[in-house]
């Protein structure tokens, strides 16, 4: 049943102090406790009316900011040492350090620190001060580190003062600690251990104490006033516990020390001075944990007046680095050394590759811890599993885990059987939450409260409970009854007082809860349960030496009390889940430091299972466990039976082997006799058969003698006729063979002629086709050539026209020659157009040069105006004016030539384009030629295929030739005329042969030759068959004749032996009867042995069958046990239960992330 509580917070704990006193009702009659534990008590409630930051820290308002050291009897707890070894008194310097925390993992670092400290002390001739927590684990010390430490201190030479810290102490008073073995190993003249407050060398030495009262007494003593410094191991409010965490539970420093007091302390590992005080924490000598990352460590050197003289930096052991990014890690790698520890926190998302960085870190010998920020909470694999049915949760679990169908079927069967048998199972939909609000708590005779006490728990807010005990020798609040009053409602509702850190309960025994002076007591809780009035009363009553307890539950005026206390507690549990109260609204001192993070996985799930319905899954697991055990027991029982059966098999096999041996021996004797008798009977049967045969043969021979005589005469006559027939057949056969040879000669000549005709016809067809192809190619080539020639003529004509036009405009002879050469070059090769372009550019350059020369001449003419000259060509006089006029004329002509040149260039480009077009057309013609050639090749291949088809037809005609031969017999009368014609045809001249229809003639000749050949061959065949049959018949007659003659002779010889054979026949029958009687005796004995052997064989078979059945049963039981074991795992805390509590874990995770 899932139960939630909505409670008004009303319980608070703190150090005993007095804020505002409000006496309890009827507390004037406080109890007087004896030496056994009863003291005068006054318990008060202090109600917080305003938020005060110092509440619960041990500072009363009226004494705040004041220092009080006077404590009655303080001098008695401080030990004063005036005498000590001389080595301690002569020290002018002291090297102080603290919190070494020796353990297996740090032993080497600790040894390095100790050796370094001893080396510095030896060099300075100084003493050593250690302020607690030498060991890491209190109680049992590990052997290996202990031996190494003792060995190290056995070589120690400098004086050393040590006080014990909380990790060193074993007993609650601190008297028994783990530093004594060190003093024994080093010697009391070198190591002094102070286990209680001590004044020595003008300094007060205070070991760790859990109770601040002892420290207050020691500090309030008269001896402490003369101390120049205080060395201690304490927790001070406001000090840095580590990076980012400040102590809020420690003692306020002004409550213990004067602000001007010099205090050196251990306990916190960060070197520091508490602000506003003289308290200095020396810090640990090396970085013990990741919380000390980045801290620098040092040894403190003190003078004889206990003031700081110097700090000695110290750097041993692995360093710790807390990194926030990959960049920070990369910057730190170069400074790493072996065994350093790095903690890198990565984002929750992303896939940063850190392999290369990890390798670098590992190569340095350092260690890297990678931690990703918490990812967004994922959904549970089975949503709302606690509200689903058992079958549904198990089915979904099986699907996720991939369980086999057999396991799923078996598990569902177990669940259904469980649900059918358990009628009290509360369905999932009936689960609810409950709201409990406490109103009033009444108790009497409970603990230290003898009289009736009542307090209200409704709408109280935060309440501080304080107490006063005037009879206590310690603090006034001890044993005042604060805890008893607070656990009263918990004990009333649950029957136990609190939860221990290990998960066990302090059940609150009746003998402890009942007041020593009371005969009865009770605790009554009144409140509202889901708005309904609830009253629960748990009572105690003394009966002699026994104390009986009872429980009463009343809800809305209805009494729900059962016959027994346990049944009533079950009702209370079903109503409000009382067992959850200690985890919802009541937190005792044993749970003050216990958190979910400190729990193991199993312990955390156990805690969550208290609010998640897992009872049925546990019962199902128990059922599977029982079924598994039953299967195992049955398996063991069947296995014992199997061993018994297997033990009986060898003896049965021995008896069977003996019977088999006896049977085989008897079988051998029977086989031997049977074989011997069979041989004898075989001989008898053979002789009898021989005799009978002889008798029958003799009789048959007698009857056949006469018959054989007439048969012999007939056969002799047939033999004579046969010889005559054979002679005639030989003559006929020889004539047919001669005729066949003649026909075959004619046929071979015709075939030769036909082959020659075929070869000639094939050659003729090939030549004709070749001539046709060549003719077509020539025609096509001629057409293409004509077309190309026409195109070239057209180009030539256009070029000539262009040249004529160009020559008409060109006056200069050099330019005309250059253009003519360029055009002739263009006519021969279209690539010469480029040369023409270059020639034009050269001519243009020449004209430019000529123009420049003309301009120079103009300048010259302008300077020499009036001068006259003579032309070197025509010898005419030329003056300056004439020269200028001629020059202008030439310039105009040049402009016209330039235009003509540009026009010619354009036309040249057109001609080049036309040539490219013609080239493309020529390529098209060549492609067309190749296409046509390809088509011709295809036609040639088709003709070859047709020719091959005709050849196939010729071969078919040759096959039909055989049929023609069979028809030659019909035309024997026409054989000679046709043969003459065939010979005539064969003798025709070559010209006539070529003019005839060769195919028809060849076919006629072939048919006639085949018919003649077939007829002759048939005659030969028939003659051969006739001769062969005649020979075979003659041989058979001759053999029969010889056989009859022999039989006749034998029949005559057997008549005389008939009488002797009859006597031998009678003797053989008598012998056969004797052998049969002997064989019957052997057969009866063999049957007896066989029956005995088969009986033993059946018994062994039954035993083997039983063994196989047991093997099968055992395998099934083992399989069932394995299935039950797998189902037990499915129903266990790591199976379905884990899925069920996933939702609760998810909610817890969300709460933690918030």
Assess contact for 262 and 306: CB atoms under 8 A.
yes
Cα(795)–Cα(775) distance, rounded to whole angstroms? 30
Written as one string, the DSSP assignment of 1010-1033 is: HHHHHHHHHHHHHHHHHHHHHHHH
Total domain count, the chain: 5
- Pair (117, 224) in one structural domain: yes
- On the question of pLDDT at 558 being above 90, the answer is yes
Mean pLDDT score, 168-176: 80
pLDDT bin (cut points 50, 70, 90) of residue 782 is low
Return the H-helix or E-strand segment holding 522.
strand 520-529
Give the angle 571-573-576 at the CA atoms, nearest 5°. 110
Under 8 Å CB-to-CB from 982, ≥6 apart: which residues? 746, 750, 1005, 1008, 1009
Assess contact for 733 and 1022: CB atoms under 8 A.
no
- Pair (291, 143) in one structural domain: yes
- Pair (307, 222) in one structural domain: yes
Assess contact for 953 and 999: CB atoms under 8 A.
no
pLDDT at residue number 353? 60
Write the pLDDT tens digit of every residue in 831-852: 544 554 555 565 556 555 555 5
pLDDT at residue number 991? 44
Higher pLDDT, 540 or 378: 540
Assign residue 181 a region (left: φ > 0; alpha: ψ between -120 and 50; beta: otherwise).
Answer: alpha
Question: Whole-prediction pTM value?
Answer: 0.39
Cα(107)–Cα(146) distance, rounded to whole angstroms? 9
- Pair (343, 370) in one structural domain: yes
pLDDT bin (cut points 50, 70, 90) of residue 613 is low
- On the question of pLDDT at 987 being above 50, the answer is no
Q: Which among 541, 1132, 19, 409 has a CA at the least distance from the CA of 550?
A: 541
Written as one string, the DSSP assignment of 1054-1095 is: HGGGHHHHHHHHHHHHHHHHHHHHHHHHHHHHHHHHHHHHHH
For the chain, the residue count is: 1154
- Pair (261, 210) in one structural domain: yes
β-bridge mates for residue 532, sequence order: 529
Give the residue carrying structure tokens 């009655």: 72
Tokens representing 329 are: 């890690």
Write the pLDDT tens digit of every residue in 118-166: 999 999 999 999 999 999 887 678 889 999 999 999 999 999 999 999 9
Considering just the CA atoms, what is the radius of gyration of the chain in Å?
Answer: 68
Mean pLDDT score, 587-603: 59
Most confidently predicted of 456-460, 698-702, 836-840, 860-864:
456-460
Assign 734 to helix, strand or coil: helix
Give the residue carrying structure tokens 């009789």: 699
pLDDT at residue number 57? 33
Most confidently predicted of 495-504, 615-624, 819-828, 1034-1043:
615-624
Residue 868 lies in a domain: yes
pLDDT bin (cut points 50, 70, 90) of residue 13 is very low
Distance of alpha carbon 341 from the chain centroid: 31
Q: Which among 138, 130, 141 has a CA at the least distance from the CA of 190?
A: 130
- Pair (143, 249) in one structural domain: yes
Residue 147's CB: how many other CB atoms inside 10 A?
11
Higher pLDDT, 406 or 192: 192
Lowest mean pLDDT among 41-55, 415-429, 1011-1025, 1083-1097: 41-55
- Pair (436, 417) in one structural domain: no
Tokens representing 219 are: 């500090």
Residue 841 lies in a domain: yes
Q: Is 406 exposed, middle or buried (0-12, 13-18, 19+ CB in 10 A)?
A: exposed
Cα(656)–Cα(904) distance, rounded to whole angstroms? 130
pLDDT at residue number 171? 76
- On the question of pLDDT at 259 being above 50, the answer is yes
Give the residue carrying structure tokens 């003078």: 303
How do strand 367-372 and strand 341-346 relate by DSSP bridges? parallel
- Single residue among 603, 623, 656 that ends a domain in this structure: 603
Distance of alpha carbon 89 from the chain centroid: 71
Assign 736 to helix, strand or coil: helix
Q: Which among 1136, 1123, 1126 has a CA at the least distance from the CA of 391?
A: 1136
Residue 589 DSSP one-character state = G
Assess contact for 194 and 162: CB atoms under 8 A.
yes
Cα(687)–Cα(693) distance, rounded to whole angstroms? 10
Cα(1003)–Cα(996) distance, rounded to whole angstroms? 13
Q: What CATH number does residue 77 fall under?
A: 3.60.21.10
Assess contact for 769 and 776: CB atoms under 8 A.
no
Residue 624 lies in a domain: no
- Single residue among 555, 577, 603 that ends a domain in this structure: 603
Higher pLDDT, 371 or 229: 229
311-318: long-range contacts, CB 8 A cutoff, minimum separation 24: 312/95, 312/120, 314/113, 314/116, 314/285, 314/286, 315/286, 316/109, 316/112, 316/113, 316/116, 316/285, 316/286, 317/106, 317/109, 317/112, 317/113, 317/286, 317/287, 318/109, 318/287, 318/366, 318/367
Residue 798 lies in a domain: no
Cα(807)–Cα(815) distance, rounded to whole angstroms? 9
Residue 82 lies in a domain: yes
Cα(28)–Cα(634) distance, rounded to whole angstroms? 71
Tokens representing 679 are: 């041989």
Higher pLDDT, 1075 or 736: 1075
pLDDT at residue number 1073? 77
- On the question of pLDDT at 956 being above 70, the answer is no
Cα(1016)–Cα(1013) distance, rounded to whole angstroms? 5
Give the residue carrying structure tokens 């003093």: 183
β-bridge mates for residue 298, sequence order: 313
SS (H, E, C) 911-932: HHHHHHHHHHHHHHHHHHHHHH
Lowest mean pLDDT among 447-456, 683-692, 741-750, 806-815: 806-815
Assess contact for 235 and 250: CB atoms under 8 A.
yes
Percent of the chain with pLDDT over 70: 58
Assess contact for 744 and 1013: CB atoms under 8 A.
yes
Q: Which spans in 125-248 are helix H? A: 143-154, 180-186, 212-219
- Pair (827, 842) in one structural domain: yes
> For the chain, what is the mean pLDDT?
73
Under 8 Å CB-to-CB from 59, ≥6 apart: which residues? 17, 252, 255
Residue 482's CB: how many other CB atoms inside 10 A?
21
- Single residue among 960, 993, 1017 that ends a domain in this structure: 960
Residue 623 lies in a domain: no
Residue 939 lies in a domain: yes
Higher pLDDT, 169 or 908: 169
pLDDT at residue number 48? 33
Cα(558)–Cα(466) distance, rounded to whole angstroms? 37
Q: Which among 396, 395, 389 has a CA at the least distance from the CA of 419?
A: 389
Higher pLDDT, 493 or 742: 493
pLDDT bin (cut points 50, 70, 90) of residue 231 is very high
Mean pLDDT score, 614-627: 84
Mean pLDDT score, 86-104: 93
Higher pLDDT, 977 or 363: 363
The range of the structural domain enclosing residue 346 comes to 318-378
Most confidently predicted of 35-49, 525-539, 586-600, 1134-1148:
525-539
Write the pLDDT tens digit of every residue in 192-208: 999 999 999 999 999 99
Cα(94)–Cα(96) distance, rounded to whole angstroms? 6
Under 8 Å CB-to-CB from 870, ≥6 apart: which residues? 876, 877, 878
Cα(498)–Cα(586) distance, rounded to whole angstroms? 8
Give the angle 361-362-366 at the CA atoms, nearest 5°. 70
- On the question of pLDDT at 373 being above 80, the answer is no
- Pair (163, 280) in one structural domain: yes
- Pair (206, 336) in one structural domain: no
pLDDT bin (cut points 50, 70, 90) of residue 970 is low
Mean pLDDT score, 213-222: 86
Distances in Å between the Cα of 363 and the Cα atoms of 333, 337, 338, 356, 595 are: 10, 10, 9, 11, 38
- Pair (328, 294) in one structural domain: no
Write the pLDDT tens digit of every residue in 24-73: 333 333 333 333 332 233 333 333 333 333 333 333 333 333 333 333 45
Residue 19 lies in a domain: no
pLDDT at residue number 45? 35
pLDDT at residue number 985? 47
Higher pLDDT, 866 or 244: 244
Tokens representing 463 are: 């309440």
Residues 204-242 as b/e (b if ≥16 CB within 10 A, e otherwise) read bbbbbbeebebbbbbbbbebbeebebbbbbbbbbebbbb
Assess contact for 386 and 1147: CB atoms under 8 A.
no
Give the angle 306-311-314 at the CA atoms, nearest 5°. 130
Q: Is 192 exposed, middle or buried (0-12, 13-18, 19+ CB in 10 A)?
A: buried
Distance of alpha carbon 410 from the chain centroid: 29
Tokens representing 1049 are: 């002779």
Assess contact for 430 and 447: CB atoms under 8 A.
no
pLDDT bin (cut points 50, 70, 90) of residue 191 is very high
Give the angle 280-283-285 at the CA atoms, nearest 5°. 140
The count of C-alpha atoms lying within 13 angstroms of the C-alpha of 913, restricted to the half-sphere facing its C-beta, is 6
Write the pLDDT tens digit of every residue in 531-551: 899 999 999 998 888 888 899
- Pair (833, 905) in one structural domain: yes
- On the question of pLDDT at 5 being above 60, the answer is no
């Amino acid at each position: 049943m899932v139960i939630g509580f909505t409670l008004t917070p009303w319980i608070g704990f703190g150090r005993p102090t007095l804020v505002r006193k409000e006496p309890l009702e009827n507390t004037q009659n406080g109890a007087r406790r004896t030496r056994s534990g009863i003291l005068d008590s006054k318990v008060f409630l202090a109600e917080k009316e305003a938020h005060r930051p110092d509440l619960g820290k041990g500072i009363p308002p009226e004494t705040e900011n004041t220092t009080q050291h006077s404590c009655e009897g303080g001098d008695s707890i401080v030990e004063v040492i005036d005498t000590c070894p001389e080595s301690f008194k002569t020290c002018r310097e002291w090297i102080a350090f603290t919190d070494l925390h020796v353990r297996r993992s740090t032993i080497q670092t600790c040894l390095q620190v100790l050796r370094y400290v001893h080396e510095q002390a030896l060099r300075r001739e100084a003493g050593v001060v250690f302020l607690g927590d030498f060991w890491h684990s209190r109680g049992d010390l590990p052997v290996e580190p202990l031996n190494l430490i003792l060995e190290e201190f056995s070589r120690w030479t400098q004086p050393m003062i040590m006080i014990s810290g909380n990790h060193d102490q074993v007993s609650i008073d601190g008297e028994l600690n783990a530093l004594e073995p060190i003093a024994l190993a080093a010697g009391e003249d070198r190591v002094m251990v102070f286990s209680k407050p001590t004044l020595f060398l003008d300094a007060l030495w205070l070991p760790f104490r859990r109770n601040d009262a002892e420290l207050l007494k020691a500090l309030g003593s008269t001896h402490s006033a003369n101390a120049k410094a205080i060395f201690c191991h304490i927790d001070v409010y406001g000090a840095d516990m580590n990076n980012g965490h400040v102590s809020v539970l420690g003692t306020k420093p002004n409550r213990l020390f004067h602000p001007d007091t010099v205090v050196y302390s251990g306990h916190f590992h960060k070197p520091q001075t508490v602000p506003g005080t003289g308290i200095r924490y020396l810090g640990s000598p090396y970085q013990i944990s990741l919380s000390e990352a980045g801290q620098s460590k040092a040894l403190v050197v003190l003078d004889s007046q206990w003031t700081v003289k110097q700090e000695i930096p110290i750097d041993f052991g692995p360093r710790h680095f807390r990194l926030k990014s990959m960049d920070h890690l990369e910057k730190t790698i170069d400074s790493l050394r072996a065994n350093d520890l790095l903690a890198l926190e990565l984002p929750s998302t992303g896939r940063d590759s850190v392999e290369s960085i990890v390798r670098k870190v590992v190569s340095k010998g350092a260690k890297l811890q990678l931690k990703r920020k918490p990812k967004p909470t994922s959904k549970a694999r089975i949503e709302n599993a606690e509200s689903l049915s058992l079958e549904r949760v198990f089915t979904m679990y099986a699907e996720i885990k991939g369980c086999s169908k057999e396991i799923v079927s078996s598990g569902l069967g177990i669940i259904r059987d469980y649900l059918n048998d358990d009628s009290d199972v509360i369905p999932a939909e009936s689960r609810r939450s409950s709201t409990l609000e406490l109103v009033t708590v009444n108790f009497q005779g409970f603990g230290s409260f003898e009289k009736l006490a009542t307090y209200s728990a409704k709408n109280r807010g935060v309440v501080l409970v304080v107490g006063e005990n005037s009879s206590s020798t310690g603090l006034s609040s001890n044993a005042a009854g604060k805890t008893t009053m607070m656990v009263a409602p918990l004990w009333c509702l649950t029957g136990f007082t609190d939860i221990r850190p290990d998960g066990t309960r302090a059940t609150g025994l009746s003998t402890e809860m009942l007041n020593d002076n009371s005969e009865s007591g009770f605790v009554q809780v009144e409140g509202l349960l889901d708005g309904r009035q609830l009253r629960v009363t748990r009572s105690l009553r003394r009966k002699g030496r026994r104390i009986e307890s009872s429980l009463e539950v009343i809800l809305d005026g209805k009494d729900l009390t059962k016959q027994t206390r346990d049944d009533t507690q079950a009702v209370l549990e079903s109503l409000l889940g009382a067992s959850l109260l200690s985890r919802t609204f009541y937190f005792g001192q044993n749970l003050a430091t216990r958190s979910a993070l400190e729990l193991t996985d199993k312990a955390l799930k156990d805690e969550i299972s208290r609010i998640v319905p897992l009872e049925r899954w546990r019962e199902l697991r128990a059922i599977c466990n029982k079924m598994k055990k039953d299967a195992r027991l049955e398996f063991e029982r069947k296995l014992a039976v199997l061993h018994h059966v297997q033990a009986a098999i060898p003896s049965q096999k021995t008896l069977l082997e003996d019977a088999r041996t006896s049977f085989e021996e008897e079988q051998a004797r029977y086989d031997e006799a049977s074989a011997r008798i069979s041989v004898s009977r075989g001989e008898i049967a053979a002789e009898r058969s021989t005799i009978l045969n002889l008798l029958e043969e003799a009789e048959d021979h007698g009857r056949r003698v006469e018959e054989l005589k007439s048969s012999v005469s007939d056969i002799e006559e047939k033999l004579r006729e046969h010889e005559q027939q054979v002679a005639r057949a030989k003559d006929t056969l020889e004539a047919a063979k001669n005729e066949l040879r003649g026909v075959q000669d004619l046929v071979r000549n015709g075939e030769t002629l036909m082959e020659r005709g075929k070869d000639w016809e094939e050659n003729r067809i090939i030549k004709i086709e070749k001539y046709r192809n060549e003719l077509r190619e020539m025609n096509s080539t001629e057409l293409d050539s004509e077309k190309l020639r026409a195109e070239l003529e057209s180009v030539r004509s256009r070029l000539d026209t262009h040249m004529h036009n160009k020559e008409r405009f060109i006056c200069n002879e050099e330019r005309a020659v250059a253009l003519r050469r360029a055009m002739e070059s263009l006519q021969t090769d279209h690539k010469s157009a480029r040369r023409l372009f270059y020639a034009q550019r050269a001519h243009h350059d020449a004209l430019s040069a000529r123009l420049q020369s003309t301009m120079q001449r103009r300048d010259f003419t302008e300077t020499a105006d009036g001068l006259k000259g003579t032309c070197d060509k025509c010898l005419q006089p030329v003056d300056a004016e004439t020269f200028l006029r001629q020059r202008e004329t030439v310039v105009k002509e040049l402009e016209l030539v330039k235009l003509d040149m540009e026009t010619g260039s354009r036309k040249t480009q057109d001609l080049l384009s036309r040539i490219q077009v013609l080239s493309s057309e020529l390529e098209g013609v060549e492609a067309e030629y190749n296409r046509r050639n390809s088509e011709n090749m295809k036609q040639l291949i088709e003709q070859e295929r047709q020719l091959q088809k005709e050849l196939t037809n010729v071969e078919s005609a040759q096959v039909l030739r055989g049929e023609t031969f069979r028809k030659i017999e019909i035309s024997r009368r026409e054989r000679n005329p046709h043969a003459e014609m065939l010979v005539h045809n064969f003798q025709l001249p070559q010209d006539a042969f070529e003019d005839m229809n060769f195919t028809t003639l060849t076919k006629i000749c072939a048919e006639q030759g085949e018919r003649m050949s077939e007829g002759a061959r048939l005659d030969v065949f028939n003659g051969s068959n006739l001769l062969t049959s005649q020979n075979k018949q003659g041989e058979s007659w001759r053999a029969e004749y010889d056989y009859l003659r022999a039989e006749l002779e034998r029949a005559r010889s057997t008549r005389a032996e008939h009488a002797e054979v009859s006597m031998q026949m009678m003797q053989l029958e008598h012998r056969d009867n004797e052998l049969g009687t002997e064989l019957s005796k052997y057969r009866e004995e063999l049957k007896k042995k066989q029956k005995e052997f088969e009986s033993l064989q059946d018994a062994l078979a039954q035993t083997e069958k039983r063994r196989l059945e047991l093997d099968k049963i055992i395998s099934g039981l083992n399989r069932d046990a394995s299935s039950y074991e797998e189902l037990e795992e499915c129903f266990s805390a790591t199976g379905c239960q884990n899925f069920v509590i996933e939702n609760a874990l998810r909610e817890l995770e969300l709460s933690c992330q918030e």
